Structure 1
Amino acid sequence: MVFARKHLAECGSTNTEALAHLRDGGGPLLVSASRQTAGRGRLGRAWLTEQAGDDAALTFSIALPLPAALDLSGLSLAVGCTVADVLDPAGRRIQLKWPNDLFLDGAKLGGILIETVPLPADQRGVVIGIGLNLRPLPEGADREAFASGHAALQTLDPAATAAATLDRLAPALRGMLADFETLGFAPWQAAFARRDLAGGQRVRVGEQAGTARGVSERGELLLETAAGLLPCSGGELSLRLEKPL
């Protein structure tokens, strides 16, 4: 699988650019931007970065046509595992919060947004958007705007730049996508378990409370409740860690 590369100085959202590319009949593409003016996350949330300019953050999207019948369950988790393994191969500092967030030392480092668009000939366009904070917030920045905290890759790798980080991630993500198309999420189940931020903790998924017990072979969160083990799919659900009393 070969991706064309495109870099923009500024755009509204790399996901929007990637979706338009697929609608116009384009093939596999990796599009990045130095600055997004309308970045977005799951559930319609804005993706916030307090700083402008190169190397404050890395924002990019991968667009590719895939068979419409392919089960995309767990894709965001496989992406998260791949990103974490590239950036933190020792596996000590980056954790994953189901279904789409990356945390560094307990604060949010970045997120993943997957969107799809129908295509002709039994195909479906898939766009994987990834945003990572690179530079720490400056002194005096409004940290209350970041409900899950703000972590920066440069605290893990002081030399990290947007271009260098993207060059590290691109081949690993390309290989992951080729494997996912034939194998699904199952090969990444153990990798996710090693980095599971919520594993064994009391959480709330939508309106349902319980204890997180890892994920299934399809990437469903396994929620232990009084009624038994409940599998929860990503979709429009989000997970909140419940603070101890």
Structure 2
Amino acid sequence: MTDPFAWPEGVARHALAEVDSTNAEAARMAPGLTQPTWIFAHRQTAARGRRGRGWAAPDGNFGATLVMRPSGTPQEAAQRSFVAALALADALALVAGPGVTLRLKWPNDVLLNGGKVAGILLESAGQGGAVSHLAIGIGVNLAEAPPPEVLEPGAHPAASLLGETGLRIPPEEFLAPLANAFDRWERQLATYGFAPIRTAWLDRAARIGQPITARTGTEIFEGTFETIAEDGALVLATPQGRRVIPAADVYF
């Protein structure tokens, strides 16, 4: 049996004491990389989340980015958000043990006992329908969750691994099980395509069959979370009919 704490073959790692943002560092390093590389930092001074939002990164929390050169279209590259979510759930389950509940919130959050414990940010560069590099940024509240007063109105409540379980995991010790889990799911994607990733994600999805609100940049949709499409888009059953939404923020 493969050691879940072993470092995956063919994957590099780059550890930093401090950086502005691991995703920004990934973009700077990408042109010279020859293999998938994890960039880990003990401290980020300008960490960010989706849509340019700030991401709180206090000491003891985890922040890292995997930078890679995926084949395929930008839409296929974006499916790595589901790979990353599954890997995060596996790694958190491994370190937390059986007494926690982990669920995946579309499009890119992981919930621990109902609270947001981790987020994923994908950024890519390329031209002509090709992706030159993909950066998968991951932040995990290992030690501390942001208090409610600093969250956006309507944002999902936050949680931390320490707060929910009493377990204190040093951030550098979380990197190997996460990288190992991502490697396993990435190999599934490369061998079998997105279908088994989609199935596994749906098995852990939060709020399937329940009412949710999806907000795009211009519209708000309310309906029942039906499933995700074969490409990963959100499928919502609304009073106006079935909606397939490629990108949005979801509120419960």
Shared fold per TM-score greater than 0.5: yes
Q: Is 2:150 the counterpart of 1:145?
A: yes
Q: Secondary structure at the match of 1:200?
A: coil
- Residue 30 of structure 1, aligned match among 16, 38, 43: 38
Is the contact between residue 39 and residue 47 of structure 1 (CA under 8 Å) also seen in structure 2?
yes
1:9 pairs, out of 14, 17, 20, with: 17
Do the aligned partners of 1:73 and 1:218 also contact (CA within 8 Å) in 2?
no
Equivalent residue in structure 1 for 2:228, among 215, 220, 223: 215
Q: Determine which of 196, 207, 213 is the counterpart of 1:198.
A: 207
Structure 2 residue aligned with 1:178? 187
Q: What CA distance in whole angstroms lies between the structure 1 residues aligned with 2:13 and 2:33?
A: 16
Q: Deviations over 1:102-142 (max 9, x none)?
A: 1111211010001111279x5521111100011135xxx84
Q: Quick one: distance in 2 between partners of 1:194 and 1:117? A: 31
Q: What amino acid maps onto 1:76 in structure 2?
A: S
Number of residues paired by the alignment? 232
Cα shift readout 1:198-219 (whole Å, capped 9, x = no counterpart): 2122112121111111212321
- C-alpha separation in 1, matches of 2:32 and 2:250: 35
Unaligned runs of 5+ in 2: 1-8
Residue 10 of structure 2 contacts residue 35 of structure 2 at CA under 8 Å; is this kept in 1?
no
Helix, strand or coil at the partner of 1:63: strand
Q: Is the 8 A contact 2:62 2:141 kept in 1?
A: yes
Q: Conserved in 2, the CA contact under 8 Å of 1:184 and 1:218?
A: no
SS for the counterpart of 1:126 is strand
Report the TM-score when normalising by structure 2: 0.82
59, 64, 80: which one pairs with 1:60?
64
Read off the aligned partner of 1:86 and give its amino acid letter: A
Identity of aligned residues (%): 31
Provide the aligned C-alpha RMSD in A.
2.5
Structure 1 unaligned blocks of 5 or more: none
Q: CA deviation at 1:33?
A: 0.3
TM-fit CA distance, 1:175: 2.5
User: Are the counterparts in 2 of residues 74 and 220 from structure 1 also a CA contact under 8 Å?
Assistant: no
Q: State whether residues 82 and 172 of structure 1, in contact with CA within 8 Å, keep that contact through their aligned partners in structure 2.
A: yes
For 1:18 and 1:157, the matched residues in 2 are separated by: 32
CA distance in 2, matches of 1:39, 1:195: 27
Shift of 1:184: 3.3
After TM superposition, where is structure 1 displaced by more than 3 Å over at least 4 residues in a row? Answer: 23-27, 89-92, 181-184
SS in 1 for 2:84: helix
Letter in 1 for 2:35: G
SS state at 1:40 partner: coil
Q: Secondary structure at the match of 1:39?
A: coil
Of 14, 25, 29, the match for 1:21: 29
Matched, 1:87 2:95: no
1:239 aligns with 2:250: yes
Q: 1:99–1:238: 8 Å Cα contact kept in structure 2? A: yes
| Amino acid paired to 1:110 | A
Q: Is the 8 A contact 2:77 2:134 kept in 1?
A: no
- C-alpha spacing 1:34/1:85, structure 2 compared with 1 (3 Å): same
Q: TM-score, normalised by structure 1?
A: 0.84
Q: Alignment partner of 1:7: what SS?
A: strand
- In structure 2, give the amino acid aligned to 1:145: V
